[in-house]
Amino acid sequence: MSVDPLCCFCACHIVCMLTLMRSTVFNVLFVRELTKRLPQKTRLVVDAVNPGFCKSNLRRNLPTWVNIRLGLQELFLARTTEEGSRRLVVGALGYQDREDELHGAYVSDSELQEVSDYALSPEGEEVQKRIWVKH
């Protein structure tokens, strides 16, 4: 029985995208709860920053056919790692005049973004608290 590579790619691609979305939400929840747990008067600002799709060697151990597909996507869609790192710097330093808005915020494409409805929901807040439960 042969396996259809296109079908595998689609399934793999869907799983990867779902994993990425979940990890982004988890990151936002983590940052929001960490911000709540910091002392009120701290000068430390914690935010979640998305550098976007960047060219890198993270895919070096993937199968060749996946590397070819991702390589084409990188060619047309990806930023350089330098461009991605600039977005991290903007998240860290770029909003010094708006620090109150940045606490627990999500920054993507160098802009403050509204967090998801899930993160603001009672269920999201419960998950956010459970991240910190000691076992």
The tens digit of pLDDT for each residue in 52-89 reads 888 888 778 888 887 888 888 888 888 888 888 888 88
- Say what the pLDDT of residue 56 is: 83
Reduced to 3 DSSP states, what percent helix, strand and coil does the chain have, rounded to the nearest 5?
A: 60, 10, 35
pLDDT attached to residue 10: 58
Q: What is the DSSP letter of 55?
A: -
User: 44 with 103: CB under 8 angstroms?
Assistant: no
Using the predicted structure, report yes or no on whether residue 15 has a pLDDT greater than 70. no
Beta strands in 21-113 (DSSP E): 48-50, 106-108, 111-113
The C-alpha atoms of residue 79 and residue 7 are separated, in whole angstroms, by 28
Residue 130: C-alpha distances to residues 29, 88, 122 (Å):
10, 27, 12
Contact 26, 9 (CB under 8 A): no
